[in-house]
C-alpha cells in the first residue's frame, strides 16, 4: 500500500475550525457537480417545448455533459496535482459557472448542447480537485470519517437532490434556472475557496500528453458507445464500433502508463491496490444502479402516479434523509469497526433489496405502500456503501497523487452512471416493445396495453438494477482485504483499519 507522504508546509491541514469551512466549501462544489447530472433531466420536457428539439435529439443534453466529463476526468485529476489544488478548484468553479450561465441563456438546441459539454469539461477539472482537497486536509481518523461521511452522502444523494431542486425550479420559475442555480453554488464555493483553501504548489513534472489523449479518447468512446445503444441498437456499428475502439484505446493507455514512470497520467499503483480497486468497482456499480433507479423512478411517478416535477422531487426527499443518516452512521461508527470488506457489500446488497421492492409496482400502486419502502431501503444502502467506498478509494494515497486518485473516483461514478443508464434504458425499451408485440390486439394498441407496457419497462429496469447491485456486493466481498486491525488504530497506518498489507 502507498503510505501517506509527510505533510509539506504547503499541504499541511489547516488548523481548528478552518478545516470544517474547507469541508463546507468542497461539499458545496461537489453538490453542484453531482446534482447537475440529474437536475436537467426533470426540466427536459420544458426545455424541449421551449427550444423545439426532437425526442431523438434530447439525449444529447445529458450525453454531452457525460462525454466531456468522463473523457477529461483523468486529465483534470493530474492537473490538480501539477498546478496545485486551490488553483484548479477555483478555475473549475468559475468555468463551470460560466458554462451554466451560457446554457441558461441558450436560444437554440446547439447552444444548449455546447454549454452542457463545456460544463462537463470544467466539471472534470473541479471534481478531482475538490476531493483531493478533502483527502489532504483531513488526516485525523475521526475527523476524516466525519468529513467523508458528509462528502459521500452528497455523492450518493446528489442525484435525488437534483430531482428535488430541478422540480421546484422548473415548476415555479423556468427550466433555465436549473442551470442558473449553479451560479449561486459557484459564488459560495469560490468565496470559500479564496478564504479557506491554502495555496499549494504543484509538482515539477511533465504532463503525459500522449496518455491524456489515449485515456480521454478511450473514455469518450466508451461513454459514446453506450449512449448510442438505445437509439441505434446493439447490432449497430455506431454502438459496437466505439465500444471496440474504447477497449483498444484504454489498453494502449495502460501500456503507456507502464512506460511513463513518474510522468504517468495515472500511476498504476493507485488503482492496482486491492482495496482501492474494490472501492472503485463499488462506486462504479453504485453509479450504474443509482442513476438508472432515479431515471425510471421519476418516469413512474410522473406518468403513472401523475406527479408534477416538484412533487416528484419531494417524493425522493425521504430517501435523501435516510441516506444522509446512514452515511454518518457508517463512516463514523461502523467503518472503523468493521472495515470496507463488510460495510460496502452490505450497503450494495441493501440498495439491491430496495430496488427489488420496486419491481412490484403496477398500475394500481400507491407511493406510500409500494414506492416509499423501496426508496428508503435503497437510501440506507447507498448511505452505507458510498462514503465507505470513497474513503477507502482515497486512503493512503500520496499527496502528489491525491488529485488523480480523486479523478478515478469521479470517473467510476460518471462512467457507471452513463453506462448503467444506457444499458437500463435499452433493456426497458426492449421490454416495453416485447410486451406490446405480445399483447396488443389492435393497431394502434389500446391505452391499457400501452400503460402496462410502460409498467413492464420500469419494473424490468428496477430488476436489472437490483441485479447490478447484487453482483457488485458479491464481487466486492471477495476483492476487499480482511479487516484485522484493533479498534482505535489510526486509519491508513500499517495494520490500521482500511490498510492493505
What is the structure's pLDDT at 11? 43
What cell does 72 get?
477529461
What is the rounded distance in angstroms from the CA atom of residue 190 to the CA atom of residue 26? 10
pLDDT in tens, 213-236: 888 888 788 877 877 776 777 788
**20 C-beta neighbours (distance < 10 Å), count:** 17
What is the structure's pLDDT at 58? 66
User: Does the pLDDT value for residue 63 go beyond 80?
Assistant: no
What is the structure's pLDDT at 99? 93
What is the structure's pLDDT at 9? 38
Contact 336, 282 (CB under 8 A): no
Contacting residues for 216 by C-beta, under 8 A, at least 6 apart: 71, 72, 74, 75
pLDDT band at 484 (very low <50, low <70, confident <90, very high): very low
pLDDT band at 492 (very low <50, low <70, confident <90, very high): very low
pLDDT in tens, 376-423: 999 899 888 888 888 788 776 666 666 667 677 777 777 777 777 777
Question: What's the half-sphere exposure (Cβ side, CA atoms, 13 Å) at 271?
Answer: 18
Average pLDDT over residues 268-291: 80
pLDDT in tens, 156-213: 666 667 777 888 888 888 889 989 989 998 998 888 888 877 776 555 556 677 887 8
What cell does 108 get?
437554440
User: Does the pLDDT value for residue 500 go beyond 50?
Assistant: no
Of 9-23, 256-270, 429-443, 467-481, the poorest mean pLDDT is in 9-23
Q: What percent of the chain shows pLDDT beyond 70? A: 82
What is the structure's pLDDT at 491? 36
What is the rounded distance in angstroms from the CA atom of residue 25 to the CA atom of residue 150? 12
Ramachandran category for residue 492: left, alpha or beta (phi over 0 → left; psi -120 to 50 → alpha): left
What is the structure's pLDDT at 13? 45
What is the rounded distance in angstroms from the CA atom of residue 434 to the CA atom of residue 103? 38
User: Does the pLDDT value for residue 111 go beyond 80?
Assistant: yes
- H-state helical runs in 228-316: 229-232, 237-260, 269-272, 274-303, 309-315
What is the structure's pLDDT at 345? 92
Q: What percent of the chain shows pLDDT beyond 90? A: 11
Average pLDDT over residues 421-437: 80
What is the rounded distance in angstroms from the CA atom of residue 62 to the CA atom of residue 418? 9
Residue in the structure block whose three cell numbers are 469541508: 23
Q: How open is the CA angle 404-405-410, to the nearest 5 degrees?
A: 90
pLDDT in tens, 318-356: 888 888 888 878 777 787 788 888 889 999 999 999 999
- Produce one character per residue of 393-415: b if its CB has 16 or more CB atoms within 10 Å, e if not: bbbbbbbbbbbbbbbbbbbbbbb
User: Does the pLDDT value for residue 14 go beyond 80?
Assistant: no
Q: What are phi and psi of 20, to 5 degrees?
A: -75, -30
What is the structure's pLDDT at 17? 62
pLDDT band at 499 (very low <50, low <70, confident <90, very high): very low
User: Does the pLDDT value for residue 5 go beyond 50?
Assistant: no
What cell does 381 get?
444502502
Q: What is the mean pLDDT of the chain?
A: 78
The more confident residue out of 55 and 471 is 471
pLDDT in tens, 70-84: 778 777 777 777 777
Of 141-155, 305-319, 336-350, 415-429, the poorest mean pLDDT is in 141-155
- Per DSSP, 236 falls in state S
What is the structure's pLDDT at 483? 56
Average pLDDT over residues 414-439: 79
What is the structure's pLDDT at 355? 92
Average pLDDT over residues 117-132: 84
DSSP 12-47: PPPPTTHHHHHHHHHHHHHHHHHHHHHHTGGGHHHH
- The domain defined by 15-207+265-479 folds into Growth Hormone; Chain: A; (1.20.1250)
User: What are the respective helix, strand and coil percentages of the chain, to the nearest 5?
Assistant: 80, 0, 20
DSSP 389-424: HHHHHHTT--GGGHHHHHHHHHHHHHHHHHHHHHHH
What is the rounded distance in angstroms from the CA atom of residue 41 to the CA atom of residue 21? 31
Q: What are phi and psi of 309, to 5 degrees?
A: -55, -45
What is the structure's pLDDT at 34? 76
Amino acid at each position: 500500500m502507498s503510505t501517506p507522504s509527510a505533510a509539506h508546509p504547503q499541504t499541511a491541514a489547516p488548523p481548528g475550525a478552518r478545516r470544517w469551512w474547507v469541508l463546507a466549501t468542497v461539499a458545496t462544489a461537489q453538490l453542484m457537480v453531482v446534482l447537475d447530472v440529474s437536475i436537467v433531466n426533470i426540466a427536459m420536457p420544458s426545455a424541449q417545448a421551449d427550444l423545439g428539439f426532437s425526442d431523438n435529439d434530447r439525449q444529447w443534453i445529458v450525453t454531452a455533459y457525460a462525454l466531456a466529463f468522463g473523457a477529461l476526468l483523468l486529465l483534470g485529476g493530474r492537473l490538480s496535482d501539477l498546478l496545485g489544488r486551490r488553483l484548479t478548484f477555483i478555475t473549475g468553479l468559475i468555468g463551470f459557472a460560466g458554462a451554466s450561465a451560457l446554457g441558461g441563456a441558450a436560444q437554440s438546441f446547439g447552444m444548449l448542447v455546447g454549454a452542457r459539454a463545456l460544463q462537463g469539461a470544467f466539471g472534470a477539472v473541479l471534481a478531482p480537485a475538490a476531493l483531493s482537497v478533502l483527502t489532504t486536509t483531513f488526516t485525523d481518523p475521526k475527523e476524516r470519517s466525519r468529513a467523508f461521511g458528509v462528502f459521500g452522502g452528497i455523492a450518493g444523494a446528489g442525484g435525488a437532490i437534483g430531482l428535488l431542486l430541478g422540480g421546484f425550479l422548473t415548476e415555479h420559475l423556468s427550466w433555465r434556472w436549473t442551470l442558473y442555480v449553479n451560479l449561486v453554488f459557484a459564488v459560495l464555493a469560490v468565496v470559500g475557496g479564496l478564504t479557506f483553501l491554502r495555496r499549494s504548489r504543484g509538482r515539477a513534472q511533465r504532463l503525459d500528453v500522449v496518455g491524456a489523449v489515449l485515456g480521454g479518447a478511450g473514455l469518450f468512446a466508451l461513454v459514446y458507445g453506450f449512449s448510442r445503444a438505445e437509439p441505434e441498437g446493439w447490432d449497430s456499428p455506431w454502438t459496437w464500433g466505439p465500444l471496440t475502439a474504447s477497449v483498444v484505446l484504454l489498453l494502449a493507455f495502460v501500456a503507456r502508463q507502464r512506460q511513463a514512470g513518474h510522468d504517468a497520467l495515472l500511476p498504476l499503483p493507485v488503482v492496482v491496490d486491492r482495496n482501492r480497486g474494490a472501492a472503485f468497482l463499488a462506486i462504479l456499480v453504485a453509479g450504474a444502479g443509482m442513476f438508472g433507479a432515479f431515471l425510471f423512478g421519476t418516469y413512474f411517478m410522473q406518468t403513472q402516479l401523475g406527479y408534477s416535477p416538484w412533487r416528484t422531487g419531494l417524493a425522493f426527499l425521504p430517501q435523501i434523509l435516510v441516506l444522509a443518516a446512514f452515511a454518518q452512521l457508517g463512516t463514523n461508527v461502523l467503518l472503523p469497526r468493521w472495515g470496507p470488506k463488510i460495510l460496502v457489500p452490505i450497503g450494495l446488497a441493501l440498495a439491491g433489496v430496495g430496488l427489488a421492492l420496486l419491481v412490484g409496482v403496477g398500475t394500481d400502486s400507491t407511493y406510500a405502500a409500494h414506492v416509499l419502502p423501496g426508496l428508503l431501503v435503497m437510501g440506507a444502502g447507498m448511505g452505507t456503501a458510498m462514503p465507505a467506498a470513497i474513503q477507502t478509494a482515497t486512503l493512503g494515497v500520496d499527496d502528489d497523487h491525491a488529485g488523480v486518485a480523486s479523478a478515478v473516483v469521479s470517473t467510476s461514478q460518471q462512467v457507471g452512471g452513463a453506462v448503467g443508464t444506457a444499458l437500463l434504458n435499452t433493456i426497458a425499451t426492449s421490454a416495453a416493445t416485447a410486451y406490446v408485440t405480445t399483447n396488443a390486439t389492435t393497431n394502434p394498441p389500446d391505452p391499457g396495453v400501452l400503460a402496462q407496457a410502460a409498467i413492464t419497462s420500469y419494473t424490468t429496469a428496477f430488476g436489472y438494477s437490483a441485479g447490478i447491485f447484487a453482483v457488485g456486493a458479491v464481487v466486492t466481498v471477495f476483492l476487499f482485504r480482511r479487516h484485522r486491525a484493533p479498534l482505535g488504530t489510526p486509519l491508513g497506518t500499517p495494520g490500521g483499519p482500511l490498510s492493505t498489507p
